[in-house]
Amino acid sequence: MQLKSRACCLLDLGLRGHEVTYLTLESIDWRSATLTISCTKSRRVQQLPLPVSTGEALVQYLRQGRPQTTSRMLFVRHRAPFDKPLSVPAIRNSMNRAFVRCGLRDRFCNTHVLRRTMATRLQRSGASVKEIADLLRHQSLDTASTYARVDL
């Protein structure tokens, strides 16, 4: 459950590993279906729409997968000490293990490929480069178009 909810944040929202690490329980606004990201690469607080499937994965994780803790961080360790948030290397390692289990070890070795996959999905569904850049929080359209050209 934890892996699925983190993977949804990486793939459906195009978040970077460190952005997932710093998500808190307060980052989610369930009523407006938005996610607030406060630790972005550009150091700006940004809001993203929260897709229904991602929200459902997060609810399942919060109800059934998240250990009892006083931590306000969304994703916490599942081994002692439980009150510590997951680190970026922990997120990367769990995704790499998932790639291995799926037989994709030779093709994928980091979580950033999921941002590129999101961009490619958006492009194939007809989104403009500007829309892709906005969702990936890129200032340059050239960077966004590079991401969207990846063919998986």
Q: Of the listed 22, 84, 112, 137, which one is catalytic?
A: 112
- Given 6, 77, 137, 138, which residue is catalytic? 138
List the catalytic residue out of 6, 115, 116, 137.
115
Q: Is 44 considered catalytic here?
A: no
Kindly name the residue from 6, 66, 116, 147 that is annotated as catalytic.
147
Q: Are 111 and 3 in contact (CB under 8 A)?
A: no
User: Is 115 an active-site residue?
Assistant: yes
Cα dihedral angle (149, 110, 9, 101), rounded to 10 degrees?
Answer: 110
Single out the catalytic residue among 16, 77, 116, 137: 16
Q: Is 124 a catalytic residue?
A: no
What's the full length of the chain, in residues? 152
Q: Nearest Cα to 41, choosing from 146, 140, 149, 145? A: 140
- Is 78 an annotated catalytic residue? no
DSSP state of 48: E
Q: What is the C-alpha separation between 55 and 59, in angstroms, rounded?
A: 6
Q: Do the beta carbons of residue 96 and residue 110 sit within 8 Å?
A: yes
Contact between residue 49 and residue 56 where contact means Cβ atoms under 8 Å apart: no
Catalytic residue list contains 130? no
Instruction: Determine which one of 18, 41, 78, 105 is catalytic.
Output: 41
Catalytic annotation on 18? no
Q: Which residues participate in catalysis according to the annotation?
A: 16, 41, 112, 115, 138, 147
